[in-house]
Amino acid sequence: MESKQALIVGDLVLKSVATTTAYMIATVIAAFVRRNDGVRNGGEIGIDCDGPCTKRCNGRVCTSAEDCWSGVCGVNKTCSVPSCSDNIKNGLETGVDCGEVCPLKCGSQSCKRCSECQSGVCIDWPGCAEATCYDGVRNGGEIGIDCDGPCLRRCNDRACISDDDCWSGVCGINKTCSVPSCYDNVQNGLETGVDCGWFCPLRCNSQFCASDAV
């Protein structure tokens, strides 16, 4: 009898604990949702900022970007209004400084001109392309066209160890990446072959020529 009562009591305790745990989890989730629902509620000073929220509203004092709802702690150590040029995905942006309220479109958004896209690259489908280190455009935090920043290849005049380090494919005798030329024995720059074609005086094989001299 006592054993059966103990089992009943134990079952009730487990149910109580489970109910309490579920309630606590639901409360935490509800609080999180309220703080990220795009509405000024629950004692917030602004939309999803201050009051019970950990993020601070625009104009409030901050120590780092993480303090601010906008993700921007300005030079005067106050949270700044989101903008389309702060290198952060914030406000109503659908990407970093692009989409929705920003003039530039994010990757895959439809476009007619490259100038509409943040990456500077517009293709027929699906639209704006994501920035890459091989698209011939300075984008995505690159220091030069397809070099430095997130790219492995280094820009001209940067220190190098081997030709593979350089966007130009030429690591000069002074161990710095050299500007592409028509005499470096490498197909680089706008050449269509090794040191020939496009802006080089020599034409590549199969290109039209006027005489044996060109």
Answer yes or no: is 73 within a domain: yes
Q: Which range in 20-24, 93-97, 156-160, 209-213 is most confidently predicted, on average pLDDT?
A: 156-160
pLDDT-based confidence at residue 96 (cuts at 50, 70, 90): confident
The count of domains in the chain is 2
- 47-91 pLDDT, tens digit each: 778 778 888 888 889 999 889 988 889 888 999 988 999 888 888
The C-alpha atoms of residue 119 and residue 99 are separated, in whole angstroms, by 12
As a whole number, mean pLDDT of residues 80-103 equals 87
CA distance linking residue 27 with residue 108, whole number of Å: 38
pLDDT number for residue 30: 42
Is pTM beyond 0.85 here? no
Q: Is the dihedral of CA 77, 78, 79, 82 positive or negative?
A: negative
- The answer as to whether 130 is a domain residue is no
Residue 170 domain flag: yes
CB hemisphere CA count around 25 (13 angstroms): 6
Give the range among 22-36, 125-139, 196-210 with minimum mean pLDDT: 22-36
Domain boundary among 81, 108, 134: 81
Six token digits for residue 153: 């290849």
Region 91-111: what's the mean pLDDT? 87
Percentage of the chain lying above the pLDDT 70 cut: 75
127 belongs to a structural domain: no
Domain edge (last residue) among 25, 50, 81: 81
Inside any domain, residue 98: no
In the structure, what pLDDT confidence band is assigned to residue 26 with cuts at 50, 70 and 90? very low
Mean pLDDT of the chain: 80
pLDDT digits (tens, 9 = 90+) for 147-199: 999 999 999 999 999 999 999 999 998 999 998 889 999 888 888 899 998 88
Contact 64, 74 (CB under 8 A): no
- Which structural domain, as residue segments, surrounds residue 177? 147-205
**Is 14 contained in some domain?**
no
- Show the 3-state SS of 153-182: CECCCCECCCHHHECCCCECCCCEECCCCC
